[in-house]
Structure 1
Amino acid sequence: MSKKFQVVGIGNAMVDVLSSTSDAFLADNGIEKGIMQLTDRARGVELYGLIGPAKEISGGSAANTIAGIAHLGGDTAYVGKVKDDQLGAIFAHDLRAQGAVYETPLAPASHEAETGRCIVLVTPDGERSMNTYLGVTEFLGPEDIDDAQMAQAEWIYLEGYRFDGPQSVAAFDKAIAACTGAGGRVSLTLSDPFCVGRHREAFRALIQNHIDLLFCNRAEMLSMYETDDFDVALARAASEVEIVACTDGEDGAHVLSHGQRWHAPAMPVQIVDATGAGDLFAGAFLWALTNGHDLATCGRMGCVAASEVISHIGARPEADLKALFKQQGLL
């Protein structure tokens, strides 16, 4: 039986506020370079006041992945909470405009928290340092998960950052039960090495019991398995899940499944803004997988999509990804 959705993503619904800055600005304001730091509302407002000109773009890790799949023509939906406010309206519009289904109930305008935003500070080397105020997205709970929608998904895609919310595990458990109960499969992205550090045991239980496809990068993989040996970590992951897709920066990506391993080379590109590279890798990979491509091709398409998104500001594709796949002989 064919399903209505190839992929349904669940994540933190955020609006990215992107601003170019200097390493000195990071140092002066106590911002650790290259990672995601959670902030409260007051700190978010303070940083917003300090940064230079900014570009507001709908973001959120899993939402970027889903937008990428929708851009490729995939049938997809997203679950993540925003408020009935200005940034919430931007978020909902942008995702629907890409062609994704987005029906998560809005938090009322009276809610004390606001739509989440991530202040992304991009230094001249293209590295991004993220300061995230989760806002209402933190309060996504089981009541926001539509069992019927999950049952209509070939795959669900779970965002690791969601583990920072109080009811995240309960929401994920409900989604997993509804999806797998109807024959669907489950993928997870580890999101961030510090996120792994905060929630390693919960991740470990989820990976061992429910995950069919694990997305991560080298730093997240090493953190997850608490080792400095990349090959050891990859082998451990591959022993626990059917498919592992691990990105490795300019070294491309490694895909492992059933005792086999493939390497997908990175596409040479001038890095303008590294935001969303992993998100779009996952989106292209899942699109390829649900359209019947082999795992080696899935990995290569993922690398092409990642290279496109890091060549400009913002974490959603601007070029025609299918045309890029054709150029590389992948379609």
Structure 2
Amino acid sequence: MTTPAYDVVAIGNAIVDVLSQADDAFITETGMTKGSMQLMFSPAEADALYAKMGPGIEASGGSAANTVAAIAALGGRAGFIGQVADDQLGEVFAHDIRAAGVTFTTATRDGEPTTARCLIFVTPDGQRTMNTFLGASQFLPASALDNEMIASGAILYLEGYLWDPEEPRQAMRAAIEVARKAGRKVAFTLSDVFCISRHGGDFRDLMAKGLIDIMFANENEILALMEVEDFETAVAAAAAQVPVLVVTRSEKGAIAIANGERVACGAEPIEKVVDTTGAGDLFAAGFLTGQAQGRSLEQSLRLGAICAAEIISHYGARPMCDMQALVAEKLG
């Protein structure tokens, strides 16, 4: 097996985020479920909701893209595979991810629909409610995969959000096969309870077949995935099927179980939670970077917590400080 050229290669939705502040009344009036992600199925629907937004901040996003951007900020070698349209938002996304130090070579898609966008409403308590139009990202075909990049990555990282459309689902299955043949690890993030409600059977099948090496979930997601109501029961059931299980628990910190070893870490203290957008994405970035650097399970969890705390202290899902300096200060 050759030495990996990348620490992590991720496949995910290539999305431009639009963030705006909103109060709880607005969330209720527009029929949104606070703290969740819901899909918008047409440009007209996205335009109508966008028209109701207050002043916003535009920034490249997407769950897996946020993760690899942070890995690059931490000094890691990262690549990303995701599809944008040949339009202005597509140019914005491509520029941003490359400027972050991530290799991005996926060809643009001609014609409709437009590049994906996510309208994010942040309430005063820092909770984010997301409304996503998947646009061009949901048509990522297996033919667009950079198989050489995938085979050159120590870890292939997949996001559950992209499992919903049929075409990228097949692309992700093909990518798993490429990574497996190259002797690489596969990491998977469950992304949202919404994804599990639609594709939990597929996710459990991947685990049962031994195709997932590292699984990321939050507390609600692990309960939904294992179809139980008790947290410890869910964790035990999932940990028996994957070599590494990582579960985040918001202010209660996180746990990781690897080959029978269980460790935990507390949440990193911050003065104020401003915006929880990207918290899980950045936690995954920290944990995966820790593993790539040969750190212990406990140190990798702590690195994830440090990254998550940085991202929830400001608006947006991309780091706004020198991440390597931050980690050196807090973890050494």
Shorter-chain TM-score tier: over 0.9
1:290 aligned partner: 292
Give 1:205 shift: 1.1
2:244 aligned partner: 243
Q: For residues 69-88 of structure 1, what are the structure 2 equivalents within 5 Å?
A: 69-88=71-90
- Name the SS of the counterpart of 2:207 in structure 1: helix
1:90 aligned partner: 92
Q: For residues 197-208 of structure 1, what are the structure 2 equivalents within 5 Å?
A: 197-208=197-208
- Name the SS of the counterpart of 1:241 in structure 2: coil
Asked if 2 retains the 8 angstrom alpha-carbon contact of 1:140 and 1:165, the reply is no
1:216 aligned partner: 217
2:265 and 2:3 map into 1 onto residues whose CA distance is 30
* Bigger shift: residues 273-282 or 141-150: 141-150
Give 1:324 shift: 2.1
Where structure 2 has 5 or more consecutive residues not aligned to the other structure, the ranges are: none
1:130 aligns with 2:130: yes
Give 1:327 shift: 2.3
- Name the SS of the counterpart of 1:65 in structure 2: helix
Q: For residues 165-180 of structure 1, what are the structure 2 equivalents within 5 Å?
A: 165-180=165-180
2:235 aligned partner: 234
2:165 and 2:207 map into 1 onto residues whose CA distance is 18
Asked if 2 retains the 8 angstrom alpha-carbon contact of 1:147 and 1:174, the reply is no
- Name the SS of the counterpart of 1:240 in structure 2: coil
- Runs of 4+ aligned structure 1 residues displaced above 6 Å come to none
Give 1:169 shift: 2.7
2:257 aligned partner: 256
Q: Deviation string for 1:45-74 (max 9, x for gaps)?
A: 001111110100100000000000011111
1:208 and 1:301 map into 2 onto residues whose CA distance is 29
- For 2:242, give the aligned amino acid: V
1:316 and 1:274 map into 2 onto residues whose CA distance is 12
1:301 aligned partner: 303
2:60 aligned partner: 58
Asked if 1 retains the 8 angstrom alpha-carbon contact of 2:98 and 2:104, the reply is yes
Give 1:323 shift: 2.0
1:61 and 1:208 map into 2 onto residues whose CA distance is 25
Aligned length: 328
1:183 aligned partner: 183
1:127 and 1:43 map into 2 onto residues whose CA distance is 23
Q: For residues 1-80 of structure 1, what are the structure 2 equivalents within 5 Å?
A: 1-40=2-41, 41-80=43-82
Asked if 1 retains the 8 angstrom alpha-carbon contact of 2:73 and 2:324, the reply is no
Asked if 1 retains the 8 angstrom alpha-carbon contact of 2:83 and 2:140, the reply is yes
- For 1:323, give the aligned amino acid: A
2:208 and 2:288 map into 1 onto residues whose CA distance is 20
1:205 and 1:65 map into 2 onto residues whose CA distance is 25
1:169 and 1:29 map into 2 onto residues whose CA distance is 30
1:112 and 1:303 map into 2 onto residues whose CA distance is 39
- For 1:161, give the aligned amino acid: Y
Asked if 1 retains the 8 angstrom alpha-carbon contact of 2:85 and 2:112, the reply is no
2:159 aligned partner: 159
1:183 and 1:166 map into 2 onto residues whose CA distance is 26
Q: Deviation string for 1:223-267 (max 9, x for gaps)?
A: 101111111111111100000111000011100111111111101
- Name the SS of the counterpart of 2:240 in structure 1: helix
1:327 aligns with 2:323: no
Give 1:317 shift: 0.8
Give 1:275 shift: 0.2
1:207 and 1:59 map into 2 onto residues whose CA distance is 27
Where structure 1 has 5 or more consecutive residues not aligned to the other structure, the ranges are: none
Q: Deviation string for 1:177-232 (max 9, x for gaps)?
A: 11111111100000001111111111111122200000110011111011111111
Give 1:175 shift: 0.8
Give 1:77 shift: 0.3
2:323 and 2:107 map into 1 onto residues whose CA distance is 31
1:258 and 1:151 map into 2 onto residues whose CA distance is 25
- Name the SS of the counterpart of 2:198 in structure 1: helix
Q: Deviation string for 1:11-61 (max 9, x for gaps)?
A: 011010000011111111111111000012211100111111010010000
Give 1:170 shift: 1.5
